[in-house]
Amino acid sequence: MLVLNCSRKLQMLEKMLRRSFPTSLKVYGAVMNINRGNPFRAEVVVDSWPDFKAVIARPQREVDGCGFKCSTVTWRMRHSFLPNKLAVLSLRMDPKLTLAHLDTSHVSLLSKTWSRGGNTQCHKYLAKLVCCFPSVCVLDEHGYPLSWSLTDQFATMIHSYTLPEHRRKGYSRLVATTLAKTLHSCGFPAQG
């Protein structure tokens, strides 16, 4: 097994994996994130190069004790894309509600509502995702999330949720559509 750490080879791998959709989606998302700042400190291992038959994306050995580096550069485009779309999409919502990004103050709620949540490890993981990758949420007039979706290190839209009392109002669809457009604007496939 060979660890690919040459940026040129990683870019070539990204192009090769794109031709193998949908089978390669998970590893493709990881390679894209590696090529765009590598906020989860992942590495790619192949059985041979360039004629590989197996590709694995895995965490690098921990360097700073947590194996995590938040990169605001990776998703800088998300901040410019979302505000441009907010005006159009928000017209359909109650004017007291806003479409925004999740922030770390929302992580406790995310952890409570996630089937895998409720523990310290999950709380830290969700905080990393919120810091590093695109997310979209509908906030009430007090800044409390009513509906949301976030993206993981594989560029997968995960943990979409709408509070039970706010369901059947179209918020989930609005959040998913906006997040998918954000991913597409950055060159990522939208998958969930």
In a domain, 156, yes or no: yes
DSSP strand E in the chain: where?
Answer: 2-4, 42-46, 55-59, 98-100, 135-139, 145-151, 157-162
- For residue 44, give its domain range: 2-59
* Segment 35-54, tens digit of pLDDT: 888 877 888 889 889 888 88
In a domain, 27, yes or no: yes
In a domain, 87, yes or no: no
Clarify whether residues 102 and 176 are in a common domain.
yes
Q: Do the beta carbons of residue 110 and residue 102 sit within 8 Å?
A: yes
* Segment 111-162, tens digit of pLDDT: 999 888 888 988 988 998 898 888 999 999 999 999 999 988 777 888 899 9
Please check the confidence at residue 176 and state whether its pLDDT lies above 80. yes
Clarify whether residues 117 and 176 are in a common domain.
yes
* pLDDT band at 23; cut points 50, 70, 90: confident
Q: Which helix (H) or strand (E) holds 38?
A: none
**What is the structure's pLDDT at 78?**
42
- CATH number of the CATH domain containing 103: 3.40.630.30
Clarify whether residues 121 and 170 are in a common domain.
yes
Tokens of 47: 């059985």
Clarify whether residues 52 and 105 are in a common domain.
no
Tokens of 191: 């998958």
In a domain, 71, yes or no: no
The C-alpha atoms of residue 104 and residue 124 are separated, in whole angstroms, by 10
Please check the confidence at residue 5 and state whether its pLDDT lies above 90. no
CA neighbor of 125 nearest in space, from 147, 104, 99 = 104
Q: Do the beta carbons of residue 128 and residue 40 sit within 8 Å?
A: yes
In a domain, 108, yes or no: yes
Q: What percent of the chain has pLDDT over 70?
A: 82
Number of domains present in the structure of the chain? 2
